[in-house]
Amino acid sequence: LSAAKPPDAGTLAALSRPEQRFEAAIKVTGAAKYVADLSMPGMLRAAYLLSPYPHARIVSISTERARSLPGVHAVVTGDDVRGARFGRRLQDRPVLAWDRALFIGDRIAAVAAESEGTAAEAVAAIEVEYEELPPVLDPESALADTAPVLHPEAADYGFFDGDRPSVPHPNIQGHVLVTQGSDLEAAFAGAAHVVERTYRTPRQHAVPLETHACLVWVDADDRIHIATTNKTPFPLRRQLATAFNLPADRVVVDAGFIGGDFGGKGYSIDEFACVALALETKRPIRSVATYSAELGQINTRHAATMRVRTACDADGYLIAHDARVELDGGAYAGAKPLPHLTLAGATATLAGYVVPNVRIEVLSVYTNNVPGGHVRSPGEVQALFAGESSIDELARMRGEDPLSFRMRNAVRQGDHGAAGQRYREARAVQVLAAAADGIGWTRPKRQGAGVGIAMSARHVGAGKLPLRLELRPDGRIQVFTGLPEQGSGGWQVLRRSLAVSAGLDERRIDVVHLATDEIGFDPGVGGSRVTHIASRAAERLGADLREWLFERLPQAGPTWPNDVELRDDSVVDPTSGEVLSSFDTVVARLLRPEEVVKLSTTFEAEPHGPDEGGDYDFVACAVEVAVDADTGRITVVDAVVAVDVGTVINPVAHRGQLEGGFVFGLSEALMEELAATDGIVSPLSLADLKVPSVGDIPPLRIVHVPTFVGPGAFGAKMAGELTNAVVAPAISNAIADAMGIRVTELPLSAERVHRALRER
Amino acid sequence: VDRYQYVRPPSVDEAIEILQGHVDEAYVLAGGTALTLLIRQGLLQPGVLVDLIDLPGLRDVRDTGHGGLHIGPLLTLREIERAPLVIERQPGVASTLREVATVRVRNQATLGGNLAHADPAQDPPPALIALDASVEISGPEGRRSVALDEFFVDVFETILGPADIITGILIPSTPPETRFHYEKFLPRTVDDYATVSVAGRLDFDEDDVITGARVVLGAVGPVPIRATAVETMLAGANAAEIDVDAVAAEAAHAADPVDDARGSADYKREMTRVITARTLRRLLGTEVPN
């Protein structure tokens, strides 16, 4: 772990400069290529036949008519890929269903044709006889004794890196149980106040501009190449190789620019059927998901039902918390990467509070709905809405200001959170105070207006990252990485961390993306790990570059003092401050005309010791809302987000993450809902599933609670999955403050609020 | 979806002729903001796309000579909302158009296309009906004029025949003491379609007695709905004596909404009442500050 001391003034000055990303120009001019822009000679288009039923046996498939259409090159069905299943951890999803369809949208067949129109025609010409089976459409019915077992062959499924943990019911995908204290029920029995509620959060979507896409081809050496929008190329390579029983080096995955992620680009579906089509046709296959496929079939946020009991004693201390978080996992668990096959954040109901007696149970359950996947802050969005609503209500039940109640119960240094989280630095009180202060917590409010607050702590992601560097005689530096750039600025983290660490100008550094056959494994983008691992790997490479240079200084400047420094792109005499030479001049002197200096490193985050606090960001969001009592419409009139994010490496992108996260959270709080009725997801277009536009965004202030304690270079932590999950509970709590009603289901739509007001 | 014939007739007559020759497979393209989406979604499969872009004389706002306006159907919504004659004579039309989608869309979408599309959640139809607008239609039988109130038949369906083209939108002059207001209820985002919209127009005499009333509901039925019972309650009444809540409750009865992503039918009916009341209070100058 990096030392908890502030970076020096020069470093802070370099980090505070608003960055300009090197890829900005090519993105703005359209020169940057995204997967849907790619094209190859002879390329075919893919289309898929989808199950129209949530649960059905496939009796027979007839593809003759489809195959006979002019322009159709291949029709692949489940029979052609029988036994091939994939997943990020549990491999439970068939490449194409061969015996049973498990949700509306399950892929039954794939077509490769010369145009999208022909491919669609061919799909329509495939004849399938189904036998409808009784569907299970919610977790409760899936867990009934009489429920059909959706995956009777689960014991044969592959599972990466270990054995699948046992589950208490065959329709349970994964199960987590966290307990604290010795007697939960006794604590509830002796409590002064208990709040018990059931909260619900809906299926939602990451809503990136770019839909999932891939281009798959087989080269002359029989290697399968996949250009993809997947942000985890190395894990995808492994999934593909496993599904098709190929050696990993026969699969080459390349992901460069990704047009937006927001959590949904870590899992792929179409790549698998496209590999089958490419192997069959020996032609390049391109597949670009429509937006309705995105919304209805790919990586929706898990809908959740959360039964929560929370209790405090007569002095207002939390004493007991019991949460059962039930996630609708849908037809397959393959989108979930963690061994427990639930969501990492789903235990975070009361992440930043001390509770002595706790039981938090998380279940993800198989149903015949669209499979649940990851969306920004997976699990937290669900759990925090429940937990932060629960303690807010408890405070109000006591007749206490919810802020002072939170302050009393928030974790201090050395405390651990309700789910057992240990914090290297506990900053709960600081972010709560800063957010409350920013919103004017105690200021008198107008009629129909109220303030609300919510707080959380989120772990900074970890992982490993190999990097290579090449320095040329003209002083240009290229950094090679397998890490995709999905828009949030990971490559600029590499560039700036390397530059600052080496004492160079970042404009001399380009980032070059490599496919999986050209550099070693990294886990990809996700879990808010990139700033941590990319900055540390690049910092190390910067130090290696300095070392390389200093070892050669006697050749470069024989008369220079031996304690010269590299700073501001120059070799400087530290005593006099005199610039002895530019970096360019030194490099030109040291390198022969064609010589290239190559350095490489791999950073891997060390695991924390059992008694060591983990690295967390703390966050609090405070909002003021106005409630239109006649319509139920909520207007957020003011918002403050206080964050504890460590050192900021790229101020522009960083601010974008924090502010964008708030807007993302606003959308999830007030607008987004993908309902599934009888397994049919709707709405399936962005004309009906609305997300905020600029006119919907309230005045927003980000307040930093500074710290240099972070695992990243210079004391950096993370920003990507911090601010969105606290928005909905803050707004809901503000509605409670304004109108005395508790809305227990997201989104907090006008109609839902209106109903709650009528029922008051 | 792959291929269709694309034609750009140089005159209205030739456009009509082409349409007559391709009944059932020809679609008329004006701004294209709605049509291209429907084609892309596979909801329409045109054999021939008849682009009106070259038709002359359909892009201006003219004074009809009696205080009324004749609006060319190929003008974009943005052009109309910025036209000085519209702003001067019918500021309510300009302000209603500013509620449609975004500037980007309004720079492309035309008024003729908007009406012919007959999307029940659109903003211009209820507003123009409240202003007693009519549509000038050119077709194989010649030219005719139809009150906009009688133009819409069902969702995406109008009285336009397969070879008919809208060649003008007429807004008559309004009495000197007329007030107009269009209220669009947007409970989610600012650039959504209305959950409920209400266009209201009241004409007054010098004693503040209502001499004419129009209340038109948008987005709560297959077509814009004239709340005629409400209009009857308002007409002849003295502005000071109107029981707005009772009148607005009547409007809710006229609504015929469906459940969709913008709300349940029950909620929309209730919001019809609320938004009608707000519209009337605005027209009567008795609104409660929110």
pLDDT digits (tens, 9 = 90+) for A413-457: 999 999 999 999 999 999 999 999 999 999 999 999 999 999 999
Count of CA atoms in the C-beta half-sphere (13 A) of B85: 16
Say if the Cβ atoms of A631 and B192 lie within 8 Å. Answer: no
DSSP helix/strand/coil, A342: coil
Say if the Cβ atoms of A750 and B264 lie within 8 Å. Answer: no
CA distance A73 to A278: 10
Say if the Cβ atoms of B267 and A682 lie within 8 Å. Answer: no
Of the candidates B190, B264, B271, the beta carbon closest to that of A631 is on B271
State phi, psi for A19 to the nearest 5 degrees: -85, 150
pLDDT digits (tens, 9 = 90+) for A619-628: 999 999 999 9
DSSP helix/strand/coil, A203: strand
Chain Cα centroid distance, residue A124: 35
What size, in residues, is chain A?
A: 760
Predicted local distance difference test score (pLDDT) of residue A2: 43
What are the chain B neighbours of A120 within 8 Å (beta carbons)? 1, 42
Q: How confident is the model at residue B18 (pLDDT cuts 50, 70, 90)?
A: very high
Assess contact for A712 and A603: CB atoms under 8 A.
no
Of the candidates B1, B189, B261, the beta carbon closest to that of A696 is on B189
- The crossing angle, in degrees rounded to 10, of helices A233-243 and A270-281 is 60
Q: Describe chain A by its helix, strand, coil percentages, rounded to 5.
A: 30, 30, 40
Chain B closest-CA separation from residue A597 CA (Å): 51
What are the chain A neighbours of B191 within 8 Å (beta carbons)? 693, 695
- Which residue in chain A has the smallest CA separation from B196? A631
Q: Hey, how many other C-beta atoms are within 10 angstroms of the C-beta on A69? A: 16
Q: What is the DSSP letter of A335?
A: T
ipTM of predicted assembly, 2 dp: 0.95
Q: How confident is the model at residue A602 (pLDDT cuts 50, 70, 90)?
A: very high
Residue owning tokens 């009944």: B23
Cβ pairs A/B, distance under 8 A: 55
What are the chain A neighbours of B42 within 8 Å (beta carbons)? 120
Mutate which of A114, A121, A625, A630 to disrupt the B interface (most B C-beta within 10 Å)? A630
Whether residue B290 has pLDDT greater than 80: no
Assess contact for A196 and A309: CB atoms under 8 A.
yes
Q: How confident is the model at residue B288 (pLDDT cuts 50, 70, 90)?
A: low
State phi, psi for A112 to the nearest 5 degrees: -115, 125
User: CA geometry: angle at A329 spanning A324 and A334, to 5°?
Assistant: 130
Predicted local distance difference test score (pLDDT) of residue A396: 98
CA distance A562 to A578: 14
Say if the Cβ atoms of A693 and B190 lie within 8 Å. Answer: yes
Predicted local distance difference test score (pLDDT) of residue B254: 97
CA distance A513 to A712: 22
DSSP helix/strand/coil, A132: strand
What are the chain A neighbours of B271 within 8 Å (beta carbons)? 631
Predicted local distance difference test score (pLDDT) of residue A609: 81
What are the chain B neighbours of A628 within 8 Å (beta carbons)? 290
- Which residue in chain B has the smallest CA separation from A692? B189
Q: Show Cβ contacts of residue A23 under 8 Å, excluding neighbours closer than 6 positions.
A: A32, A257, A485, A491, A511
Of the candidates B188, B270, B290, the beta carbon closest to that of A671 is on B188
Is the CB of residue B261 less than 8 Å away from at least one CB of chain A? yes
Whether residue A529 has pLDDT greater than 60: yes
Chain A closest-CA separation from residue B189 CA (Å): 6
Say if the Cβ atoms of B188 and A670 lie within 8 Å. Answer: yes
Predicted local distance difference test score (pLDDT) of residue A554: 87
What are the chain A neighbours of B288 within 8 Å (beta carbons)? none
Assess contact for A38 and A213: CB atoms under 8 A.
no
Q: What is the DSSP string of B242-284?
A: --HHHHHHHHHHH-----BTTB-HHHHHHHHHHHHHHHHHHHH
Q: What is the DSSP string of A558-587?
A: TTS-TT-EEETTEEE-TTT--EEEEHHHHH
CA distance B177 to B174: 8
Whether residue A1 has pLDDT greater than 50: no
Is the CB of residue B43 less than 8 Å away from at least one CB of chain A? no
pLDDT digits (tens, 9 = 90+) for A182-212: 999 999 999 999 999 999 999 999 999 999 9
Tokens representing residue B266 in the block: 């029950």
Predicted local distance difference test score (pLDDT) of residue A4: 64
Q: Pairing relation of β-strands A464-471 and A224-228? A: unpaired
Is the CB of residue B191 less than 8 Å away from at least one CB of chain A? yes
- Which residue in chain A has the smallest CA separation from B265? A751
Of the candidates B1, B195, B274, the beta carbon closest to that of A630 is on B274
Q: Pairing relation of β-strands A357-366 and A372-373? A: unpaired
Q: Hey, how many other C-beta atoms are within 10 angstroms of the C-beta on A138? A: 16
What are the chain B neighbours of A670 within 8 Å (beta carbons)? 188
Q: Hey, how many other C-beta atoms are within 10 angstroms of the C-beta on B243? A: 10
What is each CA distance from A431 to A385, A426, A475, in whole angstroms? 18, 10, 44
Predicted local distance difference test score (pLDDT) of residue A631: 98
Chain A closest-CA separation from residue B160 CA (Å): 26
Say if the Cβ atoms of A688 and B187 lie within 8 Å. Answer: no
Say if the Cβ atoms of A693 and B189 lie within 8 Å. Answer: yes
Assess contact for A21 and A491: CB atoms under 8 A.
yes
CA distance A652 to A649: 9
CA distance A244 to A178: 37
Chain B closest-CA separation from residue A343 CA (Å): 28
pLDDT digits (tens, 9 = 90+) for B120-178: 999 999 999 999 999 999 999 999 999 999 999 999 999 999 999 999 999 999 998 99
Mutate which of B36, B43, B188 to disrupt the A interface (most A C-beta within 10 Å)? B188
Residues above pLDDT 90, as percent of chain B: 92
CA distance A489 to A479: 15
Say if the Cβ atoms of A750 and B190 lie within 8 Å. Answer: no
Say if the Cβ atoms of B187 and A116 lie within 8 Å. Answer: no
What are the chain A neighbours of B280 within 8 Å (beta carbons)? none
pLDDT digits (tens, 9 = 90+) for A468-520: 999 999 999 999 999 999 999 999 999 999 999 999 999 999 999 999 999 99
CA distance A639 to B49: 49
Chain A neighbours among B 196-255 (CB < 8 Å)?
none
Chain B closest-CA separation from residue A697 CA (Å): 10
Say if the Cβ atoms of A116 and B1 lie within 8 Å. Answer: yes
Chain Cα centroid distance, residue B31: 16
- Which residue in chain B has the smallest CA separation from A630? B274
What are the chain B neighbours of A631 within 8 Å (beta carbons)? 185, 187, 271, 274
Predicted local distance difference test score (pLDDT) of residue A426: 96
Say if the Cβ atoms of B188 and A118 lie within 8 Å. Answer: no
Exposed (0-12), middle (13-18) or buried (19+): which is A159, by Cβ within 10 Å?
A: middle
Of the candidates A682, A687, A695, the beta carbon closest to that of B190 is on A695
Say if the Cβ atoms of A750 and B187 lie within 8 Å. Answer: yes
Of the candidates A117, A671, A749, the beta carbon closest to that of B2 is on A117
Assess contact for A199 and A748: CB atoms under 8 A.
no
Tokens representing residue A114 in the block: 């010369």
Chain A closest-CA separation from residue B266 CA (Å): 10
Predicted local distance difference test score (pLDDT) of residue B1: 46
CA distance A559 to A145: 84
Say if the Cβ atoms of A749 and B187 lie within 8 Å. Answer: yes
Q: Which helix (H) or strand (E) holds A541?
A: helix A530-551
Residue owning tokens 């509070």: A353
CA distance A639 to A641: 7
Predicted local distance difference test score (pLDDT) of residue B2: 59
Of the candidates A120, A692, A751, the beta carbon closest to that of B263 is on A751
3-state SS of A667-706 is HHHHCCCEEEECCEEECCCCCCCCCCCHHHCCCEEEEECC
Q: What is the DSSP letter of A353?
A: B
Chain A closest-CA separation from residue B271 CA (Å): 7
- Which residue in chain B has the smallest CA separation from A668? B188
Residues above pLDDT 70, as percent of chain A: 99
Of the candidates A118, A685, A692, the beta carbon closest to that of B189 is on A692
Assess contact for A377 and A458: CB atoms under 8 A.
yes
- Which residue in chain B has the smallest CA separation from A683? B261
What are the chain A neighbours of B187 within 8 Å (beta carbons)? 631-633, 749-751
User: Which amino acid is residue A346, in one-letter code?
Assistant: A
Residue owning tokens 């908007």: B114
Say if the Cβ atoms of A695 and B191 lie within 8 Å. Answer: yes
Q: Hey, how many other C-beta atoms are within 10 angstroms of the C-beta on A559? A: 6
Residue A390 φ/ψ region, left for φ over 0, alpha for ψ in the -120 to 50 degree band, beta for the rest: alpha
- Which residue in chain B has the smallest CA separation from A682? B261
CA distance B255 to A609: 65
Is the CB of residue B119 less than 8 Å away from at least one CB of chain A? no
CA distance B145 to B135: 6
Q: What is the DSSP string of A400-448?
A: --HHHHHHHHB--TT-B-TT--BBSS--HHHHHHHHHHHHTTTS---TT
Q: Considering only CA atoms, which of A248, A316, A240, A246 is closest in space to residue A271?
A: A240
Predicted local distance difference test score (pLDDT) of residue A256: 86
pLDDT digits (tens, 9 = 90+) for A707-749: 999 999 999 999 999 999 999 999 999 999 999 999 999 999 9
Look up the pTM and report it.
0.96
Q: What is the DSSP string of B144-213?
A: EEEEGGGTEEETTEES--TT-EEEEEEE----SSEEEEEEEE-SS-TTSPPSEEEEEEEEE-TTSBEEEE
Whether residue B289 has pLDDT greater than 60: no
- Which residue in chain B has the smallest CA separation from A754? B267
